[in-house]
Chains A and B, each alone.
Chain A
Amino acid sequence: MSAVVNNRIRQGSTAVDILLYAIALLVCILTLYPFYLVIIMSISSPMEVAAMNVFWFPKGFFLGSYELIVKDTKMWWAYSNTIIYVVSGMLLNCLMSILGAYPLTARNLKGRKWVIAFLLIPMYFGGGIIPSYLLVNKLGLYNTMFAVIIPGAVSIWNIILVRTYFATIPEAIKESASVDGASHWQLLFRIIVPVSKPILAVIAIYTVVGIWNSWFDALVYLPNERLHPLQMYLYRVVVQQTVDLKMLTMEDAARASFTMLSNIQLKYAIIVFTTLPVIFTYPFFQKYFIKGALLGSLKE
């Protein structure tokens, strides 16, 4: 009897609950504080931010950086470009993943294993930046939006995810559709795709987040500023701010110094501006993320 009582005390201990809640709260604070800090820095006086005096509350309330960003046409160009890249990239990725995955689920496809092996190679070995540049250039994609959209349209990882999901659909459903006279296209788009909504949502979110955060392809393939995505805009501010004053002549050092100071605070405003849309979409798609993580663990 006494053992049971002890056990009950241990399981329902208020002290332990408080401790666990405290740890959870601490982890929450540690996770959220950097976001909060960036937000309050973005609305504090540039001088206070440069002096690193801002910790808990905004100091010297200042919205000038947001004004500068909102008035900057380059930022809006970058924003609209990112939306174009995200939407078209996401749709193409879903389509290519479906079309790539479906044949790989057909058991009677000859050489299926070879095709899968062939697909796996580029997952581990890339051509390198110069061959990729040559390819993009020869295809006439250099300095066009296609240079960012087309190379990213096919993701082997997504194809494997979709294929794994397709493989879980009972064979009986496919067979019955075939018996009823459905062609492969009908089977794919009328039967398989509708029941695969969860996996399509997962790859859609992966793609959206990936493209939203990407900047390297634009750095290499898009010298035209008007085609830059939002992250390149952010990159520009951060890099300009970390200019090496020691390498400049006196005249250049003076100019770079002023730019650096004004950019120290500006970068926080830009981070908020570029990150918030994605942060707000996260809670709505959280369940799909978990699903995606589980699917990723099931490779045949």
Chain B
Amino acid sequence: MGNWKKSTLLSVTTAVLLVGGTACSNNTNDAKPQQSASSGGSASSSSPQASKLKLLGPANGNKYIKFEERDKYPAWKEIDQLFTGEGLQLDYEFVPPEQYDTVIKTRMAAGSSLPDIVNISALDNTTVLNLAKQGVLLDLNPLIEKYSNGNIKEMYGNEFSFAKQATTTSDGKMYWFSNLHKKTYQEKDPAPVALTMMLRKDWLDKLSLPAPTTAEEYRQTLKAMRDSDANGNGQQDEVLVYNPGAFASPIAQWFGLGTDITAVDVETQKIVSPWYQDGIKDYFLYLQQLVKEGVLDTSLIAAKDEQIQQKMTENKVASVKSYNMEGWLEPTIQGGGEFQPLMPLKAVDGITPAAQLEPPFLVWAKYAITKDAKDVEAAIKFFDVVYSREYADLMTWGIEGQSYKKEANGVKVGINKGTDEELAKSGNVAAGRLIGDTVYPRVQFANLETELASAPQYKADHELNMLTYKPYFVNMNEIYLAIPDEDQLEAKTKILTNLNTYSAELATKLALGQKSLDDWDQYLEELKKLGLDQLIEIDQQLLDRYNSIK
């Protein structure tokens, strides 16, 4: 009995001590210093007039280049000075990136104890507009008018005018700032990057095959690679990795098709749907041939990246979609290999093959000021620094001589292309690598020259050929569409839920030959019933409004 009394008392005491101890240690030592870190030296000891701002965003998640070690990065010190120079004292709350979605959704939905500035990129437009309606997020336009020193207007009005178009709501309000990206070549020409079909260059050389110039030759080449056992493992297992369920696949563009159920034709400023375009039936006939000949690996349709990576590592992928200047696939192939980007290949008479491009101007991510912001003037000051040229240079390029150099013609070219571990040791990285996409928006004046310098000649040549290639579709159609109003958003959400599923299923079944092209009218009828025409109409309205915003 006595022993039990003692052990019970001991257990209770231990529990109380443990819980108390852990809680105390959390409050005093662990949580706060880790959780929220004030901005560097000078800010902490700033003048009494320093304006405090609480910022919430995802941590950068890099294993080596860590925000906690920011003081060793020269680019960060410069950035820090920009903020402290404006009298801003920043208090960060960083959440691990894989946890951020859950945390921000919960906290914004609860709507209490919000920071001054918050990264809400994880929230979709419907949620953000609802929050704005509830007054949780502030309209930025009047604040910019009242408090900005002009930097924000300069960036949004002149340098990145498309940003205003993409972030203005139907009632003329603006609830978030964004990451802004502009890529140019020779400091003036817009430089889109192409997404193409990549074909094994080393296998072409090994089998003495020329690079295909038409879709038919491409098919023959893939077949030859398979029949000749290009990887030399004794099996005919060289495959094309391709998802016919999504139109954002370069082969679809060879047939002149858009990149999504609805796509923006940038040249004509019209919304098109591949289901109504001329090459659609020929496209599925072509895919059926690839499937029939066993070239297209049907087991990898809609596969996860990990499964595709497995096939890549096994040295079985003959062709796959990727960025034309990628350099990350080759090192993962067991035994090595090279991928060559293909130009858009002619597939059907009367249809000029289109390219798929990543636009040279990008606007993405959302950074908002919340209703709990105590000093909105300071919050606008924060964004005035963010949208300054100095900040953009430090984010994109870092420090001259350390993370970039200037060529004789004045063009900046990035240097120190080591691994993250090496870069973390040297500290010579652009600030974007350290703080981009956290609570700090990325503002980037990038150039193509840096990418060309590190790409093999044949990839660089391909990119230069693609710079002015027409016709083309973009891989991110939504960046050309204005934010829908409440009714449009509701209608789009309702339509897309079923339409996306039906479209993907139909396209996959047609490619696999499980559905007959003879019943085409019936499929179109069903697509219309699910709202395809209405979706095109709404997107056209959004595109028109996007173009009308000045």
A95-B11, A134-B112, A264-B306 are contacts. A149–B334 as well, Cβ < 8 Å?
no
B11 touches A223 (CB 8 A): no
Inter-chain contacts of B358 with A (CB < 8 A): 249-250
Kindly state whether residue B19 has any CB partner on chain A within 8 Å.
Answer: yes
B99 touches A223 (CB 8 A): yes
Kindly state whether residue A137 has any CB partner on chain B within 8 Å.
Answer: yes
Measured between C-beta atoms, what is the minimum distance from B196 to chain A in Å?
A: 12
Kindly state whether residue A87 has any CB partner on chain B within 8 Å.
Answer: yes
Complex CA–CA separation, A254 to B248 (angstroms): 19
Give 15 pairs: A residue, B residue, CB < 8 Å, sorted on A. A88-B19, A91-B11, A91-B14, A95-B11, A143-B35, A145-B23, A149-B22, A194-B4, A219-B102, A223-B93, A243-B305, A250-B193, A253-B328, A254-B328, A257-B332
Complex: chain B residue closest to A53, CB-CB: B314
Kindly state whether residue A176 has any CB partner on chain B within 8 Å.
Answer: no
A95-B11, A224-B35 are contacts. A84–B18 as well, Cβ < 8 Å?
yes
B328 touches A227 (CB 8 A): no
Q: Give the residue of A92, A189, A232, A241 whose beta carbon is less than 8 angstroms from that of B306.
A: A241
Measured between C-beta atoms, what is the minimum distance from B69 to chain A in Å?
A: 13
B110 touches A50 (CB 8 A): no
Q: B23-65: contact bitstring with A at CB < 8 Å (1 yes, 0 no)?
A: 1001100110011000000000000000000000001010000
Kindly state whether residue B304 has any CB partner on chain A within 8 Å.
Answer: yes
Measured between C-beta atoms, what is the minimum distance from B150 to chain A in Å?
A: 29
Q: A166-202: contact bitstring with B at CB < 8 Å (1 yes, 0 no)?
A: 0000000000000000000000011001100000000
Contact residues of A between 198 and 245, Cβ < 8 Å to B? 219-220, 223-228, 232, 235-236, 239-245
Contact residues of B between 394 and 410, Cβ < 8 Å to A? none
B35 touches A51 (CB 8 A): no
Contact residues of B between 310 and 329, Cβ < 8 Å to A? 310, 313-314, 323, 325-329
B31 touches A236 (CB 8 A): no
A95-B12, A149-B19 are contacts. A137–B34 as well, Cβ < 8 Å?
no
Contact residues of A between 144 and 158, Cβ < 8 Å to B? 144-146, 149
| 13 more CB-based (< 8 A) A-B contacts, given A95-B12, A143-B35 | A47-B334, A50-B313, A52-B310, A88-B19, A92-B15, A189-B8, A190-B1, A220-B102, A220-B106, A223-B93, A253-B323, A254-B327, A260-B306
A129-B106, A232-B99 are contacts. A146–B23 as well, Cβ < 8 Å?
yes
A146 touches B19 (CB 8 A): yes
Measured between C-beta atoms, what is the minimum distance from A252 to chain B in Å?
A: 9
Kindly state whether residue B181 has any CB partner on chain A within 8 Å.
Answer: yes
Complex CA–CA separation, A224 to B27 (angstroms): 12
B residues contacting the other copy or chain, number (CB 8 A)? 55
Inter-chain contacts of A239 with B (CB < 8 A): 98
Inter-chain contacts of A145 with B (CB < 8 A): 19, 22-23, 26
Complex CA–CA separation, A50 to B315 (angstroms): 11
Q: B348-382: contact bitstring with A at CB < 8 Å (1 yes, 0 no)?
A: 00000000001000100000000000000000000
Kindly state whether residue A133 has any CB partner on chain B within 8 Å.
Answer: yes
Measured between C-beta atoms, what is the minimum distance from A53 to chain B in Å?
A: 8
Q: A76-105: contact bitstring with B at CB < 8 Å (1 yes, 0 no)?
A: 000000001001100110110000000000
A145-B26, A224-B31, A226-B34 are contacts. A193–B4 as well, Cβ < 8 Å?
yes
Measured between C-beta atoms, what is the minimum distance from B250 to chain A in Å?
A: 13
Kindly state whether residue A23 has any CB partner on chain B within 8 Å.
Answer: no
Kindly state whether residue B113 has any CB partner on chain A within 8 Å.
Answer: yes
Inter-chain contacts of B313 with A (CB < 8 A): 47, 50-51, 261
Measured between C-beta atoms, what is the minimum distance from A184 to chain B in Å?
A: 14
Inter-chain contacts of A244 with B (CB < 8 A): 305
A95 touches B15 (CB 8 A): yes
Complex CA–CA separation, A242 to B305 (angstroms): 7
A144 touches B193 (CB 8 A): no
Measured between C-beta atoms, what is the minimum distance from A42 to chain B in Å?
A: 16
Complex: chain A residue closest to B107, CB-CB: A133
Inter-chain contacts of A189 with B (CB < 8 A): 4-5, 8
Complex CA–CA separation, A143 to B36 (angstroms): 11
Kindly state whether residue B135 has any CB partner on chain A within 8 Å.
Answer: no
Complex CA–CA separation, A52 to B306 (angstroms): 11
Complex CA–CA separation, A172 to B304 (angstroms): 65
B99 touches A88 (CB 8 A): no
B306 touches A51 (CB 8 A): no
Kindly state whether residue A130 has any CB partner on chain B within 8 Å.
Answer: yes
Kindly state whether residue B285 has any CB partner on chain A within 8 Å.
Answer: no
A residues contacting the other copy or chain, number (CB 8 A)? 55
Complex CA–CA separation, A11 to B27 (angstroms): 68
Complex CA–CA separation, A122 to B511 (angstroms): 51
A190-B1, A220-B103, A249-B358 are contacts. A88–B309 as well, Cβ < 8 Å?
no
Complex CA–CA separation, A228 to B305 (angstroms): 28
Complex CA–CA separation, A94 to B7 (angstroms): 13
B11 touches A94 (CB 8 A): yes
B107 touches A226 (CB 8 A): no
Complex: chain B residue closest to A145, CB-CB: B22
Kindly state whether residue A56 has any CB partner on chain B within 8 Å.
Answer: no
Complex: chain A residue closest to B62, CB-CB: A255
B99 touches A219 (CB 8 A): yes
Q: Give the residue of A133, A142, A226 whose beta carbon is less than 8 angstroms from that of B30.
A: A226
A227 touches B306 (CB 8 A): no
Measured between C-beta atoms, what is the minimum distance from A111 to chain B in Å?
A: 28
Complex: chain A residue closest to B193, CB-CB: A250
A226 touches B98 (CB 8 A): no
Kindly state whether residue A125 has any CB partner on chain B within 8 Å.
Answer: no
Inter-chain contacts of A235 with B (CB < 8 A): 98
B8 touches A226 (CB 8 A): no
Inter-chain contacts of A225 with B (CB < 8 A): 34, 59, 96
Looking at B95, B106, B181, which has the most chain A CB atoms within 10 Å of its CB?
Answer: B106
Kindly state whether residue B109 has any CB partner on chain A within 8 Å.
Answer: yes
B98 touches A130 (CB 8 A): no
A88 touches B18 (CB 8 A): yes
Kindly state whether residue A258 has any CB partner on chain B within 8 Å.
Answer: yes
Complex: chain B residue closest to A247, CB-CB: B476
Complex: chain B residue closest to A223, CB-CB: B95
Complex CA–CA separation, A243 to B98 (angstroms): 10
A249 touches B181 (CB 8 A): yes
B326 touches A250 (CB 8 A): yes
A227-B31, A250-B193 are contacts. A242–B306 as well, Cβ < 8 Å?
yes
A134 touches B23 (CB 8 A): no
Measured between C-beta atoms, what is the minimum distance from B234 to chain A in Å?
A: 15
Complex: chain B residue closest to A232, CB-CB: B99
B98 touches A134 (CB 8 A): no
Inter-chain contacts of A91 with B (CB < 8 A): 11-12, 14-15, 18
Inter-chain contacts of A149 with B (CB < 8 A): 19, 22
Complex CA–CA separation, A95 to B7 (angstroms): 12
Complex CA–CA separation, A216 to B263 (angstroms): 39
Inter-chain contacts of B95 with A (CB < 8 A): 223
Inter-chain contacts of B103 with A (CB < 8 A): 219-220, 223
Complex CA–CA separation, A194 to B478 (angstroms): 67
Inter-chain contacts of B35 with A (CB < 8 A): 143, 223-224, 226
Measured between C-beta atoms, what is the minimum distance from A175 to chain B in Å?
A: 18
Complex CA–CA separation, A50 to B333 (angstroms): 10
Inter-chain contacts of A257 with B (CB < 8 A): 328-329, 332
Complex CA–CA separation, A144 to B35 (angstroms): 11
Inter-chain contacts of B193 with A (CB < 8 A): 250
Q: Give the residue of B31, B61, B304, B309 whose beta carbon is less than 8 angstroms from that of A226.
A: B31
A240 touches B18 (CB 8 A): no
Q: Give the residue of A84, A95, A137 whose beta carbon is less than 8 angstroms from that of B110.
A: A137
Inter-chain contacts of A51 with B (CB < 8 A): 310, 313-314, 334
